[in-house]
Amino acid sequence: MIYTDTRDGSVKVDFKTAVMNGMNQATGGLYIPTSFPKLDKALINKDPEPSFRVIAFEMAKPYVEGEIPDADLSEIIADAYPFSPKVVPLDSISYSLELFHGPTCAFKDFGARFMARVMSYFNRNESTPLHILVATSGDTGSAVGSAFHNVPGLDVTILYPDGKISPLQEKQLSTFTGNVRALKVKGTFDDCQKLVKTAFTDTELRGKLRLSSANSINISRLLPQSFYYMYSSLVVRNRSAIDNKIQDPAIITIVPSGNFGNLTSGLIAKEMGAPITGFVAATNTNRTIPDWIATGSYDARPSVETYANAMDVGAPSNYERIKAMYTLEQVRQLFASYWLDNDGIMEAIRACNNKTGYIIDPHGAIGWKAWEDIKNGAMEALANGNKNDYTKPGLTPNLPAWASKVIDKKAVGMILETASPAKFGSIVTDAIGKEPPMPSRLEEVLHLPDRAIPMENDYNTFKDWLLANL
Ligand SMILES: *Cc1c(COP(=O)(O)O)cnc(C)c1O
């Protein structure tokens, strides 16, 4: 596969270059495949559907062709995914796609684990380790730390702001041993990011250590997220004949979004032939994308804190990829967009539990409420010209091409549940008056000793530490 760049279509690189560079330093653009090959129809039409790992292998294949042989790719997939996504029905036309059955209980495990194994593969003939530096405000660090833990040839240093992440998140970051360690920086997330960025531009340091990043713009984190969209849309299509008797339903996929990497992966799956009809971009008060869809003007802004804090992003990095793939008019046909404030999030967690018995996390809750409104008449109201004010919580005023499918009751909704509710236990408990069940792997992490290393917010101290310890 040839990869190009969102800012310069004349750029042509291979997969290895795209993965190891992360982004194109020369243009500031993001790498993107030049085509999205269709998955074999025979595989898509199977009932029962193929296993998640079979789909993952077949979808990954064209993107690594000529660079990773089938036998090695197969090993990477098997090692990355000892767990699977799960489709759970909430009512006859609504499904939760649970993406939290990996080690850190959030969907980022799918992308980070594939990326770690691909980087290790590309580093296999080097005599020195590749040092990954990552600044985190919470969830990314644990997914990356866990994904790279004990992966050969790789070494990870996580920087996080001391006292500014939740106690559970801190435990998930700071209890690794061996090739993964965490530095608790006396500063903010922005300070952590600045230390990492300064290290990347420090030629003296780079002469001594091979450095790389692992952030969410990396194409090797984006591609594997498309695997679960394909798999789950086949599960939902095959189940629908029994659950709701709708033949070939229009599958509407509702995606809680921050940097919009997850949603971009869904677009890739659709391009590759997944039976997905449309998307709902669901978010919190950080409504940069809903505002863009509503008004046509893209206005990045500082992020604000919300209960769905993994989506507290004011300048979503994958906007650039969505823009490279589709025009605004195409986006308006393909997506509905929806946002909720904190009160709406609490109310949604409660309403979901009251109506379905399901305990949902604050991110998934926005998705659930979006679909609840859509299936209960919001799309019909929109089609009749009753447009919601986009500055108020709810749907944006564009009418997607699939609205008629919802109105004619030919659609089902698949809500991506991006994290286990136990990761946001206190918010969920406040909303529903009972604690969500704690998965044993989170419980275990709570009892491990904290190994975080205190770090001054000072570049030279940080650099000296790296040189002395890595
Ligand atoms: C990271 C994250 C998101 C947002 O995903 P993007 O790909 O950045 O849009 C949503 N929910 C949870 C729980 C997350 O950790």
Locate tokens 């009749």: which residue?
384
Q: How many CA atoms lie within 13 A of 459 on its CB side?
A: 11
Q: Is 106 in the pocket of ligand 1 (CB under 6 A)?
A: yes
The whole-angstrom distance between residue 293's C-alpha and the CA centroid of its chain comes to: 20
pLDDT, tens digit, 9 for 90 and up, residues 270-305: 999 999 999 999 999 999 999 999 999 999 998 899
**Tell me, what's the pLDDT at 24?**
86
Strand segments (E) across 186-330: 211-212, 250-256, 278-283
Comparing CA positions, the residue from 214, 209, 168 lying closest to residue 425 is: 168
237 CA to centre of ligand 1 in angstroms: 25
Query: What rounded mean pLDDT belongs to the chain?
Result: 95
Nearest Cα residue to atom 11 of ligand 1: 418
Examine the pLDDT at 213 and tell me if it is beyond 90.
no
CA-to-CA distance for 322 and 331, rounded, in angstroms? 8
Examine the pLDDT at 4 and tell me if it is beyond 90.
yes
Q: Is 221 in the pocket of ligand 1 (CB under 6 A)?
A: no
**Tell me, what's the pLDDT at 374?**
98
- Per-residue pLDDT band for 161 (boundaries 50, 70, 90) equals very high
215 contact partners, CB below 8 Å, separation of at least 6: 22, 134, 140
155 contact partners, CB below 8 Å, separation of at least 6: 129, 130, 131, 132, 179, 180, 470
Structure tokens at 434: 């009972």
Q: Is 375 in the pocket of ligand 1 (CB under 6 A)?
A: no
Taking residues 204-228, report their average pLDDT: 92
Examine the pLDDT at 138 and tell me if it is beyond 80.
no
pLDDT, tens digit, 9 for 90 and up, residues 392-416: 999 999 999 999 999 999 999 999 9
216 CA to centre of ligand 1 in angstroms: 10
125 CA to centre of ligand 1 in angstroms: 34
Comparing CA positions, the residue from 283, 302, 417 lying closest to residue 345 is: 283
pLDDT, tens digit, 9 for 90 and up, residues 65-121: 999 999 999 999 999 999 999 999 999 999 999 999 999 999 999 999 999 999 999
Please state, for a pLDDT cut of 90, what percent of the chain lies above it: 89
**Tell me, what's the pLDDT at 431?**
98
Which has the higher per-residue pLDDT, 137 or 6? Answer: 6
363 CA to centre of ligand 1 in angstroms: 8
Examine the pLDDT at 318 and tell me if it is beyond 90.
yes
**Tell me, what's the pLDDT at 109?**
97
CA-to-CA distance for 279 and 313, rounded, in angstroms? 19
The whole-angstrom distance between residue 97's C-alpha and the CA centroid of its chain comes to: 13
Per DSSP, helices labelled H in 358-447 are 362-373, 379-383, 403-407, 425-432, 440-446
- For the CA of 363, the closest atom of ligand 1 is 11
Q: Is 415 in the pocket of ligand 1 (CB under 6 A)?
A: no
Q: Is 277 in the pocket of ligand 1 (CB under 6 A)?
A: no
Q: Is 257 in the pocket of ligand 1 (CB under 6 A)?
A: yes
Comparing CA positions, the residue from 331, 350, 351 lying closest to residue 280 is: 331
**60-67 CB contacts, 8 Å cutoff, 24+ apart:** 60/114, 60/223, 60/224, 60/227, 62/1, 62/37, 63/1, 63/15, 63/33, 63/223, 64/1, 64/15, 64/118, 65/1, 66/14, 67/14, 67/15, 67/16
